Every structure is written in structure tokens, then in C-alpha cells.
A and B are shown apart, each in its own frame.
Chain A
């Protein structure tokens, strides 16, 4: 037997205290297999040991929440017996090391989280962050990640309907790849992972087990250094074809009543799936590894328990239903094997070649996993309103901003994703939210992912609030009612009090906004240790939001639609330039206070906009975010292939008014005949509003300031991404 040396413990990412605790729980030295199991189950990735204390403060309940955090994904009730199941998860570390496979398996993993609960995935989103464009690795990473997401999602036949792509030097050594999957099920056909009862067969389904991805969860729980690329063998390889078969086979099995519990083998594979199912069911699990379908010869118990081979599931069936299940998996040409049995011992017992190689209390892996209240230090938020040069020409600045790496059209990205497969995509990428019809009904889901990391850096609390508010606003802007979110918390090393302070403030900010907006958190994922050589990323708490609309035919889009429509600005404009895109792209500075989100105004203004859309007749809405009012209007011109004439309200200062990033604002356009009704409604709801112009052919004109043909804006907006990716453009540094 391998002796457990201090070096071996350290290689497994366990601290001395943690190892001492393991010995107490076991009353002996663990075996190597047991050490490996502890190492993955107690990793940050699986145990949330730094964040559990704080995550417990998030609001997770509402009358429409069927399942909050704790299962593979969250579930909400969307009426008529339909349930929406969704979650967002990161695959940051693997994607940096091997972008195609890292991103592809990130997509595959999150899809399994959703279909293991009984849902058919209907939409994918993603939130991607890369290093500065001039960094020598950025192009390669963008290309690989985008191809990986498309390669997996397109083959699965699930539309990828939107997301975010940002560039910033803080991600040079740690890119972020967050993928979100949204699925649909019936409320009475939701599957969970509690392996209740003893004597039930534990079955393995899907791909064979190989040596890929061993210790992926441990890798995802450590900082990178210059040697990290040597970790390539810990990145898994995806096979979307097998996953598609697994999806169809699982849904077919789920149509029967043979399943007691089912869970995908994600991070920490067989180990975490069996331990979590036993833990939730209050039972024990005994596994015989000789029965596990294996891809390679001479695999050890350690290899098999820690492998992260993809496209695998573990299920507990009702006794006697094995043959029925096996027939389904045979039909889909997938491996199926009974590899164990549930027991009443609350122990995880693993046998290999006739020997017991692990025998441990399951609670030691879950409840007894370390939970830290790490010391934290809340850094004071950045303050102040930055100065700016009032003489800079507005229209030239607009063109520069529309062509900036963070603002340019993402067409190059989304044209590599199948957006329309499944024939229910009502709004594809480019709008405020994607809108996907609930198949066979008039209902629609609005889906968005949002966060503005530069705000979070300046003010982690306000920035996190803003991420939630922007998701809520984007869902509102298409006319849907925001229902729930999943969060994907990407931060640096939690053992540094400053970083831990960002995490705590971020979670508090999400909590405050979600409570005020009645927008509960029903699941999520934390990705910590996003640091290379001691340098952390911008705090990036990505929010994935889902909303519901009763009639997708009424959904509003950002495109201007008719000539001489009245353009109304909804919400209060003070001209907040701190941390704005204008300041960064035109003045070359990232400074000042992040914009504050006043949650009661956010709710009031958004409820008003949604009311207008639901009442019918208002079909043109855009929220105002990065870049401010003039950028929002330019995007509406580009989408609608028409122009606008804008007149500033008397006394307004052009640059802050046109480029400020004040929150809780929308641009709405409608035929002039509706003006009286709309302005009366705004007044009745106490919503600040001002008419600022009307749509026009071909040109965007700001009275007294300047004008530009929309075609020229389009060239600027569409040009950057393809030029950059083809290597023609000397990239801009941000």
C-alpha cells in the first residue's frame, strides 16, 4: 500500500489541518484512493468551502421556485405544468489550457446538469472574458473557445442564443468561460439526485471511463503559475455525439418510472456523483469498480474514482427495472452497467479486484467538508466624478466607441453558433435578451447573462447589484417578467483578505438586488483562484437571468421599425461618467465611482416599460448600459437599418448626457399617435421620462452637435472583430 507522505498530501491540495481532520474522521490513515476522494470532495470547486457561509445569505425562495440551490440545477414553475430548469457554470481553468476542449466540455457539463433533472435543453448562453486583444494568446483563445462552444452545442442541436464577450488585461492569464443551459420539463417529471433506500441497483450509463481529467476539480481550485500548461492532461475531451445519444436515452428512460435518482458525473466524476447521491438520500453506496466500463487497460481504482471522462451518468433504479433500462441504452448504443448497490450504512465502499480500496463515512465528504469563514477586508469603493475634455467631438467619439473591442459587433462570434435549431428562437443574439418560445405554446423565455466587471472592481457591492439589475432590465426590455437567476462567481484567491472582501461584498450586493427585485437565486457556481503569478482577475460575478412572457408575439426588440417614431428616454439621467466606457475608450482612464443602482427606481421604471409592452403596441425598447444613451440609440439604428434625429433637453451637458451610464434607463420608440397615452402612463407611475427625438432615414443626427450616416457607424461597428481575428488589425490595448 502506498504510504501517505506529507508531500503526497500537499500534492492533493489538502492543508495540514485538513489532513489531520481526515485522520480524525477515519480513525486511521486514509488509503491512497481515500485520499484522492477527500482531495476532490474537499476541493474549493466541489465543497464551496470559502463561500458556503456567505452564499447562505442569498434569497432563494419565491412562490414560483420549485428547486433552489443544492441540486444539479434550479427549477422554476412557468405555469400550465411547465417547468424551466437552468444553471450557469464555469470552465475557466481548462479553457485557458486547452480552449477548444475546455469550452466544449464546459457546454457538455452544464447541459448534463440540466438534462439529468429531466429537462430537454432548449437554449445555451455564455459569458466569456478574454485578456487584452494585444496579448499574444488572446486570438488563439477566442478562436478556440468560440469553436469549442459551437462544436459541442451545434452538434447537440441546442441553439446558443446569446452571451457576452469582453476583453481586459486582468484576464490575460485567466480567461473566463461561463456557460449557461436552460431546459424545459413538466413539473411532475423532475428528477433529483437523492439515492433513497437500500438494496437498489446503482447503474452507470454513457461513455466508458478513461484517464482523462484526473484531478480536474483540484486544478480548478488552485492558482496558475508558469507551469500550468503542463496540466493539459487534466483537461477532458468532449464527445458531443455521445452526449446527444445520452440526452435522448436519458429522456427516454425518464419517461418510464424506473428511476429513483440520477446525477451526472461532472467534476470529480464517479466520486462526487456517488457521494452526493448517497448523502442526499441518507443512504450508503457500494461500488464494484470491476464492473465499470473502461476505455483503457490496467486502470487503477484511483484512476477510476477520480477520472473526469465526459458524457457519463450515475443512476439508482428501482429493483427489477434494470433490463428495461438496459434495452433503452442498448438502442442508443451506449454503455450500461450495474456497478453497485445502495446500502443503509451511510458509507461509501469501493471494491476493486476483490479488495476494499475505500470505506468511508459519506458525511465526512459532505457535511464534514471544511467550511471557512475566511478573513476578509472590504476595500473602500472608488469615488469621485472624473473630469473630461468638453471639446472632444461627440460623433467621432461615438464611432470610436462602437468600434472598441468591448463594444464592436459580436457577429463573428455568434455566426459560429447554431441559433435557430429547434425552431423556437424568437430573438437571437444582438438584442437585450434572447427569447425562446416554449415549444408548442405562445409562451416565451427571456434569457440573458450580465455583469460589468469594471464596476465590480471599483465597487464590488454596487457592481454586483448592477449585474443583477442589468439582467432584470434586459429581461424586462423584451417584455418578460424576470423570475430567477443563476450566479457564476468568478474571483481570485479567497485566501487573500482583499479578494475575500470582493467575494463577500459581491454576494451581499447580489443578495440585496435579488431581494428588492423579487428575483431569487436558484443555483450557481463559484470559480475562485482565478490568478496567475499572484495577479487576480477583475471581480466577475456573472448573472444568468430567466424571465417569462405570456405571448412571444408581443416581444419588443431593439430595432427601430418605422420612420418618425417618437423616441423617449425613460429614467433619470445625471450623466454619470465614472467607470464608463466613454472614459475608458475616449479619455483612456478607468476611474471614478461606479454608477449606483437605486433599486426602487429600477423596479418602478422597469415595471412601467413592461406594462407598455404587455399592453401591446410598444415593440421597440432597448435598455441603456455600456456606452450610455447615444450608443443605445446607435445600436437601435443599426438593428433597424434606419437613423434618428436627437435633440438634447435644454441645459444638458452633451458628453455626460449622451455617454453617461446612469442606471434604470431605457430607450422606447413608438408612433406619435401613442405619445399622449405613453407619457400619461409614465406620469401616473411617477417615471421620469423625456422625449428626445424621432426616427429618421439613414442618418443619426444630434441637433447642434453633428451627424453620421448609419452606414458609417455600421462599418465601424462590424469591422473590428473580423479584422482582429484575421490578424489584420494591430489590436487596441485597453
Chain B
């Protein structure tokens, strides 16, 4: 699997994503600058965590207007896989590659901790190596991860099996609607999630529950 990581000004999980990708796929990821207008020939594009452009406007709003996003949209249009983690998820909703929005955490505080998740959907290139209903533990680290959408959209997401990760009952760190932690687009090739799978691929660093996501992608895209 060939992959690329987009670097916005003040992305700060770009190195983490690249390290995890290299560790899991055995080949280095391409680092793509936000002002580039083309992507290299890759199977997967990762929009990493961070504070793109400072996030002084709505998180991800500035990044959604960057040059590279046109290329990311074209890649998704062609059926290429896109994974948005944390700030990357915010960029995806702001770019309308995913529905809904991410607003301030319900308690108005930044939260960083390990959270219990349930894998709700395994019919996707991102989660096929998980078991349906599997409990996994990923860290979150965000101030604006509270997923909201109108009822109709939420019903549709659930009805179409596009809610991929949910916070386990009682462990929702941000107050998101229906405990949503990660969702797919209609074509199921774009995933956005607030928790950080790339931080849990090394047993020394608090677990390996993120590995199955990369293994899924490798199997689906190689």
C-alpha cells in the first residue's frame, strides 16, 4: 500500500501518522505540502491531527480551502481511500467530504485520555480486520470533537452502516451525538474519526488496538 500524509501549517500528528504507516506497511509515506496541487500516486491519503492554520477560525475551516484539498477531493472521487484523524476529521467535515460538524466538547475542555470504543461496522476498507462489536481502546486529544448532525443525517448514517466507531456507553469524552466517534462517506472510502489509531500501534505506548486499521487498509488496498 502506498500512502501520503498531508502537512498543513501546524499539523502536528503528521510525523506520528508517517511513523505508523512506515512501521505497518514497510514503506515510507509521502509527505505532501498544503500548497501542492497534486498528490503522488498513492492508495491512501491521511489528513493528520493538529491545529491546521492555528484553528483560530472553526477547526479545519482554513485547511478546507487549501490548494491540496482539491486534489484530495479528486482522489476520493476516483475511489481512493482518505483517512482523517482528529483535525483531519474536522477538515473532512469542513470540506464536505463527510456530513455533519465537530463542535466544542460538551464540557468546554480539551481532553486527552484513552477511551473505550466499539467497532460498529466492519464492512469497510478501514475496519475489515476488526470484529463487529469489538471493544478497542484509542487515545483522544481534542477540544472540538463533539460530532453533531441533523436527525435525518444521523439516521441515515446509522441506517447505511456508516457509523464505524462509537464511544462505549459512559465513556463519551466530548458529548457527541449518539456516541459517534468515526464515520464513513457514502462511497465508504473516506473515514473521519476523532480518536488516534496511529498512537496505538506500538505495545510500549499503551496498546496495539490501532494496528488492525492499518492491516485492514493494507489488505484492502494492496
List the 5 shortest-distance A-B pairs measured between CB atoms, nearest first.
A157-B12, A241-B54, A418-B141, A423-B16, A155-B51
Specify which chain A residues have a CB less than 8 angstroms from the CB of B205 in the assembled complex. Answer: 420, 423-426
A154 at interface (Cβ–Cβ under 8 A)? yes
- CB<8 Å pairs between A and B, sample of 25: A150-B110, A151-B110, A154-B51, A154-B143, A155-B12, A155-B55, A157-B10, A157-B50, A240-B54, A241-B54, A241-B56, A244-B9, A244-B12, A332-B9, A416-B110, A418-B110, A418-B112, A419-B112, A420-B141, A420-B196, A421-B13, A421-B49, A423-B19, A425-B205, A426-B205
Cβ of B111 to closest chain A Cβ, rounded Å: 6
* Bound: A416/B108 CA distance, A: 11
Q: Quick one: CB contact mask for B66-97 with A, threshold 8 Å, 1 for yes? A: 00000000000000000000000000000000
Counting residue pairs across A and B whose Cβ atoms lie within 8 Å, the total is: 85
B139 at interface (Cβ–Cβ under 8 A)? yes
A437 at interface (Cβ–Cβ under 8 A)? yes
Q: Do A421 and B54 touch across chains, with their CB atoms under 8 A apart? A: no
Q: Quick one: CB contact mask for A416-437 with B, threshold 8 Å, 1 for yes? A: 1111111111100000000001
Specify which chain B residues have a CB less than 8 angstroms from the CB of A552 in the assembled complex. Answer: 204
A156 at interface (Cβ–Cβ under 8 A)? yes
B118 at interface (Cβ–Cβ under 8 A)? no
Q: Do A241 and B9 touch across chains, with their CB atoms under 8 A apart? A: yes
* Bound: A417/B109 CA distance, A: 10
Cβ of A13 to closest chain B Cβ, rounded Å: 35
Q: Kindly report which residue of chain B lies nearest to residue A418, judged by CB atoms.
A: B141
Identify A155's interface contact among B16, B54, B202, CB under 8 A.
B54
Specify which chain A residues have a CB less than 8 angstroms from the CB of B9 in the assembled complex. Answer: 241, 244-245, 332-333
Interface residues of B (CB under 8 A from A): 9-10, 12-13, 15-16, 19-20, 49-51, 53-56, 109-113, 139, 141, 143, 196, 198-199, 202, 204-206
Cβ of B88 to closest chain A Cβ, rounded Å: 14
Q: Do B112 and A417 touch across chains, with their CB atoms under 8 A apart? A: yes
Specify which chain A residues have a CB less than 8 angstroms from the CB of B10 in the assembled complex. Answer: 155, 157, 240-241, 244-245
Q: Do B113 and A415 touch across chains, with their CB atoms under 8 A apart? A: yes
Cβ of B196 to closest chain A Cβ, rounded Å: 7
* Bound: A422/B202 CA distance, A: 13
Specify which chain A residues have a CB less than 8 angstroms from the CB of B110 in the assembled complex. Answer: 147, 150-151, 154, 416-418
Cβ of A154 to closest chain B Cβ, rounded Å: 6
Cβ of B13 to closest chain A Cβ, rounded Å: 6
Cβ of A133 to closest chain B Cβ, rounded Å: 19
A674 at interface (Cβ–Cβ under 8 A)? no
Q: Do A240 and B112 touch across chains, with their CB atoms under 8 A apart? A: no
Q: Kindly report which residue of chain A lies nearest to residue B139, judged by CB atoms.
A: A420
* Bound: A325/B48 CA distance, A: 28
Secondary structure call for the B interface: mixed
Q: Kindly report which residue of chain A lies nearest to residue B141, judged by CB atoms.
A: A418
A20 at interface (Cβ–Cβ under 8 A)? no
* Bound: A416/B140 CA distance, A: 11
Interface of chain A residues 143 through 196 with chain B (CB within 8 A): 147, 150-151, 154-157
* Bound: A365/B110 CA distance, A: 43
A29 at interface (Cβ–Cβ under 8 A)? no
* Bound: A426/B49 CA distance, A: 20
A553 at interface (Cβ–Cβ under 8 A)? yes
Specify which chain B residues have a CB less than 8 angstroms from the CB of A147 in the assembled complex. Answer: 109-110
Q: Kindly report which residue of chain B lies nearest to residue A243, judged by CB atoms.
A: B10
Q: Quick one: CB contact mask for A538-563 with B, threshold 8 Å, 1 for yes? A: 00000000000000110000000000
* Bound: A418/B141 CA distance, A: 6
Specify which chain B residues have a CB less than 8 angstroms from the CB of A437 in the assembled complex. Answer: 204
Q: A154-B110, A437-B204, A553-B204 are in contact. Are A422 and B15 (CB under 8 A)?
A: yes
* Bound: A733/B14 CA distance, A: 46
* Bound: A683/B54 CA distance, A: 58
Q: Do B51 and A240 touch across chains, with their CB atoms under 8 A apart? A: yes
Q: Do A423 and B199 touch across chains, with their CB atoms under 8 A apart? A: yes
List 4 additional A-B contacts (Cβ < 8 Å) besides A151-B110, A244-B12: A154-B51, A332-B9, A416-B110, A419-B141
A322 at interface (Cβ–Cβ under 8 A)? no
Q: Kindly report which residue of chain A lies nearest to residue B35, judged by CB atoms.
A: A331
* Bound: A145/B63 CA distance, A: 29
* Bound: A242/B16 CA distance, A: 21
* Bound: A150/B49 CA distance, A: 16
Specify which chain B residues have a CB less than 8 angstroms from the CB of A154 in the assembled complex. Answer: 51, 110, 112, 141, 143
Cβ of A144 to closest chain B Cβ, rounded Å: 13
Specify which chain A residues have a CB less than 8 angstroms from the CB of B196 in the assembled complex. Answer: 420
Specify which chain A residues have a CB less than 8 angstroms from the CB of B55 in the assembled complex. Answer: 155, 241
A34 at interface (Cβ–Cβ under 8 A)? no
Q: A241-B51, A244-B51 are in contact. Are A156 and B12 (CB under 8 A)?
A: yes
Cβ of A64 to closest chain B Cβ, rounded Å: 25
Cβ of A435 to closest chain B Cβ, rounded Å: 10
Cβ of A157 to closest chain B Cβ, rounded Å: 2
Q: Do A241 and B53 touch across chains, with their CB atoms under 8 A apart? A: yes
Specify which chain A residues have a CB less than 8 angstroms from the CB of B198 in the assembled complex. Answer: 423
* Bound: A414/B112 CA distance, A: 8
* Bound: A392/B19 CA distance, A: 55
Cβ of A210 to closest chain B Cβ, rounded Å: 17
Q: Kindly report which residue of chain B lies nearest to residue A156, judged by CB atoms.
A: B12
Specify which chain B residues have a CB less than 8 angstroms from the CB of A420 in the assembled complex. Answer: 112, 139, 141, 196, 199, 205-206
Q: Kindly report which residue of chain A lies nearest to residue B17, judged by CB atoms.
A: A423
Q: Kindly report which residue of chain A lies nearest to residue B201, judged by CB atoms.
A: A423
With a 10 A CB-CB cut-off, give which of B10, B19, B49, B143 has the most chain A CB atoms. Answer: B10
Q: Kindly report which residue of chain A lies nearest to residue B56, judged by CB atoms.
A: A241
Q: Kindly report which residue of chain B lies nearest to residue A435, judged by CB atoms.
A: B204
